Amino acid sequence: MKDLWNQLTATQVALSPWLVALSGLAALAAVAYRPSWHFSRGLITIAHEGGHALAAVLTRRKLRGIRLHSDTSGVTLTRGRPTGPGMVATAAAGYVAPSLVGLGSSWLVAAGYITLLLWAVLVLLACMLVMIRNFFGALTLLVVGGAVFALSWWAPAGVQSAIACAAVWFLLFGGVRPILELQTKRRRGRAPDSDADQLARLTRLPGTFWVLLFLLVSAASVVLGGYLLAARWLPGHLT
């Protein structure tokens, strides 16, 4: 176990500024370009539903299951009091989860803990897999988990760093777009039961307030995560 822990916590060579910049641009393009976003948005949905599930567990709600759908939507089923802090926290966790995961991952990548990050992702995916209640969701997690395992086991350190950095940027940028899409749907009356509207009914604060709060958290995560990834090359940084 000690050898395994030492392997997991071993640090890799610091990322080059070109790698950080190029991976960020690639992730931004993947999020901004509609066809690539439609193909990759399921990864954001995994983090979104994982956020709901984790918040439910932490607030002692009964987690009944998670479903991931082929249209990149998802649903997390919980049981417990229909009101109160636990329900509010569970409903609020989804839209900010991708950004917060990206922010935490940016610290690990910047510190060189690439292997630790990849195996942490595998553990989280395995926990979600236990609670998946549909075939497509299980297949999605197995494919993603298999890709992460192959990356951690066989890919050279440089490839691991490049893909991990791009994935972090994708989570940071990809956490913002669903919130903007949510508000567009709400304006058109197409999302009456969205997380923001559920929170409005739970707290009596308007749904727009929750959308703005989600957006503030996501935007702050982009700034802080980008700073962590690029801090080594900023003026005044001590190496």
Domain count, the chain: 1
Q: Give the pLDDT confidence score for residue 193 in this predicted structure.
A: 93
The residues facing 63 across adjacent strands are: 78
CB 63 within 8 A of CB 56: yes
Q: How far apart are CA 215 and CA 138, in angstroms?
A: 30
Residue type, 35: P
Decide if 133 is inside a domain.
Answer: yes
pLDDT digits over 21-41, tens only?
999 999 999 999 999 999 999
Three-state SS at 156: coil
Decide if 108 is inside a domain.
Answer: yes
Q: How far apart are CA 91 and CA 88, in angstroms?
A: 5
Decide if 239 is inside a domain.
Answer: no
Q: Give the pLDDT confidence score for residue 233 in this predicted structure.
A: 66
pLDDT digits over 70-121, tens only?
999 999 999 999 999 999 999 999 999 999 999 999 999 999 999 999 999 9
Q: How far apart are CA 27 and CA 23, in angstroms?
A: 6
Choose among 190, 146, 171, 139: nearest CA to 24: 171
Q: Give the pLDDT confidence score for residue 4 in this predicted structure.
A: 74
Look up residue 72 and give its two tokens: 């990149």
Q: Give the pLDDT confidence score for residue 164 in this predicted structure.
A: 96
Decide if 238 is inside a domain.
Answer: no
What are the distances in angstroms from CA 108 to CA 51, 100, 234, 237? 19, 13, 18, 18
Q: Give residue 115's domain range.
A: 2-233
pLDDT digits over 169-225, tens only?
999 999 999 999 999 999 999 999 999 999 999 999 999 999 999 999 999 999 999
pLDDT digits over 129-156, tens only?
999 999 999 999 999 999 999 999 999 9
Q: Give the pLDDT confidence score for residue 236 in this predicted structure.
A: 56
What are the distances in angstroms from CA 113 to CA 3, 15, 97, 131? 16, 11, 21, 28
Residues 6+ apart with CB under 8 A from 1: none
Cβ atoms within 10 A of the Cβ of 182, count? Answer: 22
Decide if 227 is inside a domain.
Answer: yes
On the CB side of 96, CA atoms within 13 Å amount to: 20
